[in-house]
Amino acid sequence: MKKYISLLMIFGFLFFFQSCASQGSSDPKIVNMLVDSQEFTFHAQRANPTNYDVINVMNSMPNTTSTRMLNLDGDYTIDVTKSSVEVVLPYFGRLFNPTYGNTDNNSYRFTSKDFSINKSQNKKGTWVFRIKPNDVKTVDEINIEIFKNGKAFVSMRSNDRQPITYDGYVSKSEVKQEKEKL
């Protein structure tokens, strides 16, 4: 009887891990097409703060796990096109120069029209984008690693705050249409 229970447990774990691995992956051909066009959207699913004060506060809340990842429920993205980089991401950590009264400046919300992109690929097929916005004074560099299955990892390096990373995936950029008020 113990043999059957252990076999059932092994098969259960195998099915569980296989279903977890297959979630959210894209076709490598589509990912390569997005990377070659340099027009894609990164959708953030999790934030990974590096500040231990934030991590300690998260761990002290009741009914929380002791991980330092925050699941994001909003529409947090980085839109990369040939003419602009638009960033809408939350920030969790220490700001060295906070703006009081206007909390929009305490997260990453900006559009850069003057930027440089360095694109490279490593031996495993992972694409690395290094984006340096020249017209945004607080952000020094945005690093985007895009894996073959469409998953992506973003790290933000700033002049006025501690670094933070984000996990998510890339997709084709959607054309945003602004509704005119009548």
CA angle 25, 10, 8 (to 5 degrees): 120
The whole-number pLDDT of residue 156 equals 92
- Residue range 83-110, pLDDT digits in tens: 999 999 988 878 787 777 776 677 889 9
CA dist., res. 30 & res. 135, Å (int): 31
Q: Which helix (H) or strand (E) holds 131?
A: strand 127-133
List 127's β-bridge partners, or say none: 121, 146
Q: What are the Cα distances from residue 36, in Å, to 39, 56, 82, 97?
A: 8, 41, 11, 37
- Residue range 123-155, pLDDT digits in tens: 888 999 999 999 988 899 999 999 999 999 999
- Residue range 41-87, pLDDT digits in tens: 999 999 888 766 666 666 666 666 656 677 888 789 999 999 999 99
Percentage of the chain exceeding pLDDT 70: 69
The whole-number pLDDT of residue 179 equals 36
CA dist., res. 172 & res. 39, Å (int): 7
Q: What is the pTM of this model?
A: 0.75
CA angle 128, 81, 106 (to 5 degrees): 80
